[in-house]
Amino acid sequence: MAKFKNHILVCAGTGCRASQSELIVENLNRAIEDNNLGDEVQVVRTGCFGFCEKGPVVKMMPDNTFYVQVTPADASELVTEHIVKGRKVNRLLYVDPDSHKVISDSKEMGFYKKQIRIALRNCGFINPENVDEYIARDGYAALGKALTEMTPEQVIKEIIDSGLRGRGGGGFPTGLKWDITRKVKADQKYVVCNADEGDPGAFMDRSILEGDPHSVIEAMAINGYCTGASKGLVYIRAEYPLAIERLKIAIKQAREYGLLGENIFGSDFCFDIELRYGAGAFVCGEETSLIHSMEGLRGEPNVKPPFPSESGYKGKPTNVNNVETYANIPVILLNGSKWFSAIGTEKSKGTKVFALAGKVNNVGLIEVPMGTTLREVIFDIGGGIKDGKKFKAVQTGGPSGGCLTEKHLDIPIDYDSLLACGSMMGSGGMIVMDEDDCMVAMAKFYLEFTVEESCGKCTPCRIGNKRLHEILEKITQGKGTKEDLTLLRNLSYVIKDTSLCGLGQTSPNPVLSTMENFADEYEAHVVDGKCPAGQCKALMQYVIDPEACVGCTLCSRVCPVDAISGEKKMAHIINPAICIKCGACMEKCKFNAISIQ
Amino acid sequence: MEVVKLTIDNKPVVVNKGTTLLDAAKSIGVNIPSLCYMKLEDTNFENKPGGCRVCVVEVEGRRNLAPACKTECSEGMVVNTHTMRVINARRTVMELILSDHPFDCLICAKSGNCELQSLAQKLGIREIPYKGEQSHYKGDESPAIIRDMDKCIMCRRCETACNEVQTVGVLSAINRGFNSVVATAFEMDLDHSSCTFCGQCVAVCPTGALTERDHTWKVVDAIVDPKKTVVVQTAPAVRAALGEEFGMEPGTLVTGKMAAALRKLGFDFVFDTDFAADLTIMEEGTELLDRLNKYLSGDKSVKLPILTSCCPAWVNFFEHQFPEMKEIPSSAKSPQQMFGAIAKSFFADKLNIKREDMVVVSVMPCLAKKFESTRPEFSVNGDPDVNYSISTRELAAMIRNANIDFASLPDEDFDQPLGESTGAGVIFGATGGVIEAAVRTAYEIQTKKPLPKLDFTELRGMEGIRSATIDFDGLPINIGIAHGLGNARKLLEDVKSGKSNFHAIEIMACPGGCIGGGGQPYHHGNMDILKKRAAAIYREDAEKPIRKSHENPYIVKLYEEFLGKPCGHLSHELLHTHYFDKQKKIEI
Contact A490 B88 (CB under 8 A): yes
Asked if A474 is an interface residue toward chain B (Cβ–Cβ < 8 A), one would say no
Domain finish residue from A392, A408, A434 = A434
Residue B430 reports pLDDT greater than 70 = yes
Residue of A nearest to B84 (CA): A494
Q: What pLDDT was estimated at residue B587?
A: 64
Contact A496 B64 (CB under 8 A): yes
Domain finish residue from B212, B236, B258 = B212
CA A447 to chain centre: 19
Residues A66-96 as b or e (16 or more Cβ within 10 Å = b): bbbebebebbbebbebbbeeeebbeebbbee
Contact B177 A455 (CB under 8 A): yes
Residue of B nearest to A460 (CA): B93
Q: Are residues B287 and B320 in the same domain?
A: yes
Domain assignment present for residue B583? The answer is no
Q: Are residues A423 and A486 in the same domain?
A: no
Q: Are residues A367 and A278 in the same domain?
A: no
The distance of A91 to chain B (nearest Cα, Å) reads 50
Q: Are residues B155 and B179 in the same domain?
A: yes
Q: Are residues B510 and B535 in the same domain?
A: yes
How many domains does chain A contain in total? 5
Question: The domain containing residue B164 runs over which residues?
Answer: 100-128+135-212
The distance of B102 to chain A (nearest Cα, Å) reads 14
Domain assignment present for residue A459? The answer is yes
Query: What confidence category does residue A2 fall into, taking pLDDT thresholds of 50, 70 and 90?
Result: low
Q: Are residues A252 and A145 in the same domain?
A: yes
What is the C-alpha separation between B449 and B469, in angstroms, rounded? 18
Residue of B nearest to A474 (CA): B132
What is the C-alpha separation between A210 and A250, in angstroms, rounded? 10
Choose the closest CB to A457 out of B49, B89, B133: B49
Q: Which of residues 47-76 of B touch A (CB under 8 A)?
A: 49-54, 56, 64-65, 67, 70-72
Residue B429 reports pLDDT greater than 60 = yes
Q: What pLDDT was estimated at residue A97?
A: 84
The distance of B128 to chain A (nearest Cα, Å) reads 11
Choose the closest CB to A498 out of B93, B133, B181: B93
The distance of A289 to chain B (nearest Cα, Å) reads 13
The distance of A341 to chain B (nearest Cα, Å) reads 29
Contacts with B50 from chain A: Cβ below 8 Å? 302-303, 458, 500
Domain finish residue from A434, A457, A486 = A434
Domain assignment present for residue B60? The answer is yes
Domain assignment present for residue A414? The answer is yes
Cβ-based neighbours of A586, under 8 Å, separated by 6 or more:
A542, A594, A595, A596
- DSSP for B91-137, please give it: HHHHHHHHHTS---GGG-TTTTS-HHHHHHHHTT-------------
Q: What is the CATH number of the domain that holds A378?
A: 3.10.20.600
Residue of B nearest to A499 (CA): B53
Q: Are residues B235 and B172 in the same domain?
A: no
Q: What is the CATH number of the domain that holds B108?
A: 3.30.70.20
Domain assignment present for residue B190? The answer is yes
Contact A499 B96 (CB under 8 A): no
Domain assignment present for residue A536? The answer is no
- Please, what is the angle between helix A482-498 and helix B84-99, to 10°? 110
Q: Taking the model in full, what pTM does it have?
A: 0.93
Q: Are residues A239 and A328 in the same domain?
A: yes
Q: Which of residues 403-432 of B touch A (CB under 8 A)?
A: none
pLDDT tens-digit series, residues A128-154? 999 999 999 999 999 999 999 999 999
Where helices occur in A78-190 by DSSP H, the ranges are 110-113, 131-136, 141-149, 152-162, 174-183
pLDDT tens-digit series, residues A150-174? 999 999 999 999 999 999 888 899 9
Domain assignment present for residue B585? The answer is no
Contacts with B96 from chain A: Cβ below 8 Å? 459-460, 463-464, 467
Q: What pLDDT was estimated at residue A98?
A: 82
pLDDT tens-digit series, residues A528-559? 999 999 899 888 888 999 999 999 999 999 99
> How many Å from the N-terminal Cα to the C-terminal Cα in chain A?
69
What is the C-alpha separation between B388 and B267, in angstroms, rounded? 13
What is the C-alpha separation between B6 and B74, in angstroms, rounded? 7
Q: What pLDDT was estimated at residue B588?
A: 60
Q: What pLDDT was estimated at residue A398?
A: 87
- Indicate the Cα dihedral angle B114, B115, B121, B127, nearest 10°: -80
pLDDT tens-digit series, residues A322-332? 999 999 999 99
Q: Kindly state the average pLDDT of the residues A410-437.
A: 91
Choose the closest CB to A455 out of B54, B64, B176: B176
The distance of A487 to chain B (nearest Cα, Å) reads 8
Q: Are residues B228 and B153 in the same domain?
A: no
Residue A479 reports pLDDT greater than 80 = yes
Q: Tell me if A416 sits within 8 A of A348, measured CB to CB.
A: yes
Domain finish residue from A528, A555, A580 = A528
Contact B50 A298 (CB under 8 A): no
Domain assignment present for residue B492? The answer is yes
Q: Are residues A326 and A451 in the same domain?
A: no
Domain assignment present for residue A51? The answer is yes
Q: Are residues B154 and B263 in the same domain?
A: no
Residue of B nearest to A473 (CA): B132
User: Which residue of B21, B57, B130 is the best one to mutate when testing the A interface, meaning the one whose CB has the most A CBs within 10 A?
Assistant: B130
- Backbone φ and ψ for A141, nearest 5 degrees, come out as -70, -35
Domain assignment present for residue A114? The answer is no
Q: Are residues A287 and A417 in the same domain?
A: no
Domain finish residue from B155, B182, B212 = B212
Domain assignment present for residue B367? The answer is yes
Asked if B151 is an interface residue toward chain A (Cβ–Cβ < 8 A), one would say no
Q: Are residues B73 and B158 in the same domain?
A: no
* A152 preceded by a cis bond (ω within 30 of 0): no
* A508 preceded by a cis bond (ω within 30 of 0): no
Q: Are residues A410 and A503 in the same domain?
A: no
Q: What is the CATH number of the domain that holds B28?
A: 3.10.20.740
Share of chain B above pLDDT 70, in %: 99
Domain assignment present for residue B587? The answer is no
The distance of A394 to chain B (nearest Cα, Å) reads 26
Domain assignment present for residue A534? The answer is no
Query: What confidence category does residue A55 fall into, taking pLDDT thresholds of 50, 70 and 90?
Result: confident
Residue B105 reports pLDDT greater than 70 = yes
pLDDT tens-digit series, residues B556-574? 999 999 999 999 999 999 9
Q: Are residues A74 and A160 in the same domain?
A: no
Q: Are residues A169 and A277 in the same domain?
A: yes
Domain assignment present for residue B586? The answer is no
Contacts with A470 from chain B: Cβ below 8 Å? 131-133
- Please, what is the angle between helix A509-517 and helix A482-498, to 10°? 140
Q: What is the CATH number of the domain that holds A570?
A: 3.30.70.20
Q: Are residues A93 and A239 in the same domain?
A: no
Contact B177 A281 (CB under 8 A): no
pLDDT tens-digit series, residues B256-282? 999 999 999 999 999 999 999 999 999
Share of chain A above pLDDT 70, in %: 100
User: Which residue of B92, B116, B125, B155 is the best one to mutate when testing the A interface, meaning the one whose CB has the most A CBs within 10 A?
Assistant: B92
Residue of A nearest to B87 (CA): A494
Contact A462 B177 (CB under 8 A): yes
Q: Tell me if A510 sits within 8 A of A450, measured CB to CB.
A: no
Q: Are residues A175 and A316 in the same domain?
A: yes
Asked if A61 is an interface residue toward chain B (Cβ–Cβ < 8 A), one would say no
Q: Are residues B43 and B107 in the same domain?
A: no
Q: What is the mean pLDDT of chain B?
A: 95
Contacts with A455 from chain B: Cβ below 8 Å? 176-177, 180
Q: What pLDDT was estimated at residue A505?
A: 95
Q: Are residues B546 and B504 in the same domain?
A: yes
Contacts with A303 from chain B: Cβ below 8 Å? 50, 67, 70-71
The distance of A455 to chain B (nearest Cα, Å) reads 5
Query: What confidence category does residue A280 fall into, taking pLDDT thresholds of 50, 70 and 90?
Result: confident
Asked if A509 is an interface residue toward chain B (Cβ–Cβ < 8 A), one would say no
Choose the closest CB to A467 out of B52, B130, B175: B130
**Residues of B known to be catalytic:** 284, 287, 310, 330, 369, 372, 377, 514
The distance of A486 to chain B (nearest Cα, Å) reads 11
How many domains does chain B contain in total? 3
Q: Are residues B276 and B369 in the same domain?
A: yes
Q: Are residues A233 and A367 in the same domain?
A: no
What is the C-alpha separation between B400 and B106, in angstroms, rounded? 16
Question: The domain containing residue A422 runs over which residues?
Answer: 351-434
Contact B64 A497 (CB under 8 A): yes
pLDDT tens-digit series, residues B280-330? 999 999 999 999 999 989 888 888 899 999 999 999 999 999 999 999 999
Q: Are residues B195 and B229 in the same domain?
A: no
User: Which residue of B71, B96, B137 is the best one to mutate when testing the A interface, meaning the one whose CB has the most A CBs within 10 A?
Assistant: B96
Predicted-complex ipTM score: 0.93
Q: Are residues B380 and B302 in the same domain?
A: yes
Residue of A nearest to B91 (CA): A494
Q: Tell me if A108 sits within 8 A of A95, measured CB to CB.
A: no
Contact A454 B176 (CB under 8 A): yes
Contacts with B89 from chain A: Cβ below 8 Å? 494, 497-498
Query: What confidence category does residue B586 fall into, taking pLDDT thresholds of 50, 70 and 90?
Result: low
Contacts with A460 from chain B: Cβ below 8 Å? 53, 92-93, 96
- DSSP for B194-234, please give it: T-----HHHHH-SSTTEEEPP-HHHHHHHHH-TT-EEEEEE
- Backbone φ and ψ for A96, nearest 5 degrees, come out as -65, 125
Residue of A nearest to B67 (CA): A498
Asked if A470 is an interface residue toward chain B (Cβ–Cβ < 8 A), one would say yes
